[in-house]
Amino acid sequence: MTKRDRIEELTKKLKEAARAYYSTGEELMSNYEYDAMYDELVKLEKETGIVLAGSPTQKVGFEVVSQLPKVTHALPMKSLDKTKEPEALAAFLGLEEGMLSWKLDGLTIVLTYENGELAMAATRGNGTVGEVITTNARFFGGVPLKIPYDGHLVVRGEALISYANFERINEKLPPEEQYKNPRNLCSGSVRQLDSRVARDRHVEVLVYTLVESDRDTEEFHDSKEEGLKWLQSLGFTPVGYKMVTGGTVEEAVREFSDEVETMPYPVDGLVLTLNSFSLSASLGETAKFPKDSIAFKWQDETAETTLTEVEWSPSRTGLINPVAIFDPVELEGTTVKRASLHNVSILKELKLGLGDRITVYKANMIIPQIAENLTQSGTLQIPDTCPRCGDRAEVIKREDVEVLYCTNPGCPAKLVRSLSHFVSRQAMNIDGLSEATLERMADEGFLNGFADLYRLKDHREAIEKLDGFGEKSAQKLLDAIEASRHTEMYRVVSGIGIPGIGEAGAKVLQSAYAGDIAALRAAGEEELAGISGIGPVTAAAIYKFFRQEDNQTMLDDLLSFLTIEVKSSEAPQLLKGKTLVITGSLNHFENRDALKAIIEEHGGKVAGSVSKNTDYLVNNDLESTSSKNKKAKELGVPIISEEQLLEIMQLPQ
Q: For residues 136 and 577, what is the distance between their CA atoms, to the nearest angstrom?
A: 19
Q: What is the chain's Cα-based Rg? A: 27
Q: For residues 540 and 518, what is the distance between their CA atoms, to the nearest angstrom?
A: 18
Backbone angles phi and psi of 58, in degrees to 5: -115, -15
Residue type, 174: P
Q: Which of 78, 103, 297, 362 is catalytic?
A: 103
Q: Tell which residue, 204, 266, 186, 234, has the closest CA to residue 608.
A: 204
Print the SS3 string covering 531-557.
Answer: CCCCCHHHHHHHHHHHHCHHHHHHHHH
Torsion sign (Cα): 477, 483, 486, 491: negative
Q: Tell which residue, 617, 426, 397, has the closest CA to residue 506.
A: 426
Q: For residues 122 and 111, what is the distance between their CA atoms, to the nearest angstrom?
A: 7
Print the SS3 string covering 444-504.
Answer: CCCCCCHHHHHHHHHHHHHHHCCCCCCHHHHHHHHHHHHHCCEEEHHHHHHHCCCCCCCHH
Calculate the CA 598 to chain-centre distance: 24
Q: For residues 222 and 633, what is the distance between their CA atoms, to the nearest angstrom?
A: 28
E-assigned strand segments in 221-288:
241-244, 267-274
Q: Is 397 a catalytic residue?
A: no
Asked whether the beta carbons of 629 and 614 are under 8 A apart, the reply is no
State which H helix or E strand residue 65 sits in: none
Q: For residues 450 and 467, what is the distance between their CA atoms, to the nearest angstrom?
A: 23
Torsion sign (Cα): 94, 99, 105, 109: negative
Q: Tell which residue, 75, 563, 572, 440, has the closest CA to residue 285.
A: 75
Q: Tell which residue, 10, 14, 107, has the closest CA to residue 59.
A: 14
Q: For residues 313 and 404, what is the distance between their CA atoms, to the nearest angstrom?
A: 10
Asked whether the beta carbons of 122 and 73 are under 8 A apart, the reply is yes
Backbone angles phi and psi of 406, in degrees to 5: -80, 125
Q: Tell which residue, 122, 108, 116, has the closest CA to residue 145.
A: 116
Asked whether the beta carbons of 194 and 68 are under 8 A apart, the reply is no
Calculate the CA 597 to chain-centre distance: 21
Q: For residues 517 and 500, what is the distance between their CA atoms, to the nearest angstrom?
A: 18
DSSP 567: P
Q: For residues 3 and 7, what is the distance between their CA atoms, to the nearest angstrom?
A: 6
Q: Tell which residue, 423, 427, 426, 470, has the closest CA to residue 442.
A: 423
Q: For residues 60 and 287, what is the distance between their CA atoms, to the nearest angstrom?
A: 10
Asked whether the beta carbons of 496 and 422 are under 8 A apart, the reply is yes
**Catalytic annotation, residues:** 103
